[in-house]
Amino acid sequence: MKVKIIDTAYGGYGIAKDGKIIFVAHSVEGDVVDILVKKENKNFCYANINSIIEPSKYRIKAKCKYAGICGGCVFNHIEYNKQLEIKKRIVLNAIRSIEYYNDINIIKSSNEHYRLRVNMIAKDGNIGFYKFNTNEFVHIDECIILKEKLFDKIKKFSLHNNITGSIYAIESNNGKTLSFADILKQNKNIDISYFDGITIKQKKKIKTYGIDKTNYNTYFGKVPLSHKSFFQSNHYLLDEFQKNAVKYFNEYDKNIVELYAGSGFFTVAIKEKLKSLNVDYKLVSSEISSDAINIAKDIIKEDANETLKKINYNVDALFVDPPRDGLDKKVIENIIRIKPKKIIYISCNPMTFARDINLLKDYYQLIDLNIIDMFPDTYHIELVSCLEIK
């Protein structure tokens, strides 16, 4: 079937129409392609490209030799400025029912070797990822978005120890690398020398060797990290991410609440920003993850809603960085109850972000929205925003 790609959906698929919507993997707006339908529903279907009849002007030669095979960089074949245009259009479409009068600022990134952490699949010593939207293993021997030193360590560790399972690894900018290996094929003599610290799980046994945490040195100070706690991925944009997130604070922000604080990536930036403004402030930061709390400083182990329920004073600024699912309904109800003067909302999912802002729009005006391109060559979108009470 011959179709023309007319748009791009959140999730990385190109969109065509032929009586129904067709989601075409590894395509780009302007492509004319011959497709094979793989899965069909009543109103839409999914398809793969058989052949490219006429390539889009936005299509480039992919930099990665695994493009279209590995499920990681689904925008690798798209010119970078077009990637950003696609992401902006997706965000604008998501917030179309929300009043927003300003432009969306976009902060660009280098798109090579930007990732400082990764979760990889290992099979008989070989490492790789899953094929796009499948559980089919794809062996790779290089990765252009992962830090080269880290990839090399994972590759050698897996090959030397004939690992089958999964390997998570993260590299700090202080020269330390940490890993967690969930090993399915048992191995009693694992060489652990490739990492400064590694936790190995075999069956139900878990044992840690070397260090179990370290620090990442950011513009605003040291942030603790481990192989268990969440940490941002793009080492080129970490400082810019912090700076853009805290730019909304001013000398009038004396009572601040931070939810979903993790191990303190934004917490340290909030503190330093307020100190630079000479503010006599009160900051309450909470996080539910035990793995993050175990290495964090000055962060309460508490569910976000429980934190808000205890607030019985005026809040000048609420800072939230929720997971992909966005804000819980009860959290939104409590936000409306305490009515902070402004909300700084960090989001990794424009769909749940738009849903939450829609629930708050009777009380708050979206005044600023930024895309920070933490994940170039992928469909993932990171947002930094600010809302003010009406």
242, 265 Cβ separation under 8 angstroms = yes
Give the domain CATH number at 336: 3.40.50.150
| Count: domains in the chain | 3
Q: Nearest to residue 334, comparing CAs of 301, 349, 356?
A: 356
Q: Based on the fold, state whether residues 380 and 262 are members of the same structural domain.
A: yes
240 part of a folded domain: yes
Sign of torsion, CA 362 9 245 334?
Answer: positive
350, 91 Cβ separation under 8 angstroms = yes
281 part of a folded domain: yes
Q: Based on the fold, state whether residues 344 and 231 are members of the same structural domain.
A: yes
- For the question of whether the overall pTM of this predicted structure is more than 0.75, the answer is yes
85 part of a folded domain: no
Q: Based on the fold, state whether residues 200 and 238 are members of the same structural domain.
A: no
- Mean pLDDT computed over every residue of the chain: 96
Whole-number CA gyration radius for the chain: 22
Q: Is the pLDDT of residue 70 over 90?
A: no
Q: Based on the fold, state whether residues 327 and 366 are members of the same structural domain.
A: yes
Q: Based on the fold, state whether residues 350 and 263 are members of the same structural domain.
A: yes
263, 225 Cβ separation under 8 angstroms = yes
87 part of a folded domain: no
Q: Is the pLDDT of residue 71 over 90?
A: no
Q: Based on the fold, state whether residues 104 and 244 are members of the same structural domain.
A: yes
Q: Based on the fold, state whether residues 350 and 243 are members of the same structural domain.
A: yes
Q: How confident is the model at residue 134 (pLDDT cuts 50, 70, 90)?
A: confident
Q: What range does the domain containing 360 cover?
A: 95-110+224-389
192 part of a folded domain: yes
Q: What is the pLDDT of residues 184-210, one digit of tens each?
A: 988 888 999 999 999 999 988 999 999
Arithmetic mean of pLDDT, 66-78: 90
Q: What is the pLDDT of residues 196-249, one digit of tens each?
A: 999 999 988 999 999 999 999 999 999 999 999 899 999 999 999 999 999 999
Q: What is the pLDDT of residues 298-332, one digit of tens each?
A: 999 999 999 999 999 999 999 999 999 999 999 99
90 part of a folded domain: no
Q: Residue 186: how many CB atoms within 10 A of its CB?
A: 9
Q: Based on the fold, state whether residues 299 and 247 are members of the same structural domain.
A: yes
30-44: b or e for each residue (b if 16 or more CB lie within 10 Å)? bbebebeeeeeeeee
Helices 80-94 and 350-360, axial angle in degrees (round to 10): 30
> Which H, E and C letters describe 278-292, residue by residue?
CCCCEEEEEECCHHH
Arithmetic mean of pLDDT, 275-283: 97
Q: Based on the fold, state whether residues 46 and 166 are members of the same structural domain.
A: no
Q: Is the pLDDT of residue 133 over 90?
A: no
Arithmetic mean of pLDDT, 95-105: 96
Q: What's at 80, amino acid-wise?
A: Y
What confidence score (pLDDT) does residue 196 get?
Answer: 98
88 part of a folded domain: no
Q: Based on the fold, state whether residues 37 and 149 are members of the same structural domain.
A: no
Arithmetic mean of pLDDT, 253-271: 98
Integer angstrom CA distances of residue 69 from 25, 215, 223, 239: 11, 35, 35, 33
Largest CA distance in the chain: 66
Give the domain CATH number at 28: 2.40.50.140
64-84: b or e for each residue (b if 16 or more CB lie within 10 Å)? bebbbbbbbbbbbbbebebbb
142 part of a folded domain: yes
23-27 LR contacts (CB < 8 Å, sep 24+): 23/47, 24/48, 24/49, 25/49, 25/74, 25/132, 25/133, 26/67, 26/68, 26/74, 26/77, 26/132
What confidence score (pLDDT) does residue 310 get?
Answer: 96
What is the DSSP pairing of strand 7-8 with strand 177-183? unpaired
Q: What is the distance between the alpha carbons of residues 69 and 166, in angstroms, rounded to a whole number?
A: 19
Q: Based on the fold, state whether residues 31 and 70 are members of the same structural domain.
A: yes
Q: What is the pLDDT of residues 4-36, one digit of tens each?
A: 999 999 999 999 999 899 999 999 999 999 999
280: exposed, middle or buried (Cβ count in 10 Å: 0-12, 13-18, 19+):
exposed
What confidence score (pLDDT) does residue 186 get?
Answer: 86
Q: Based on the fold, state whether residues 330 and 190 are members of the same structural domain.
A: no
Q: What's at 94, amino acid-wise?
A: A
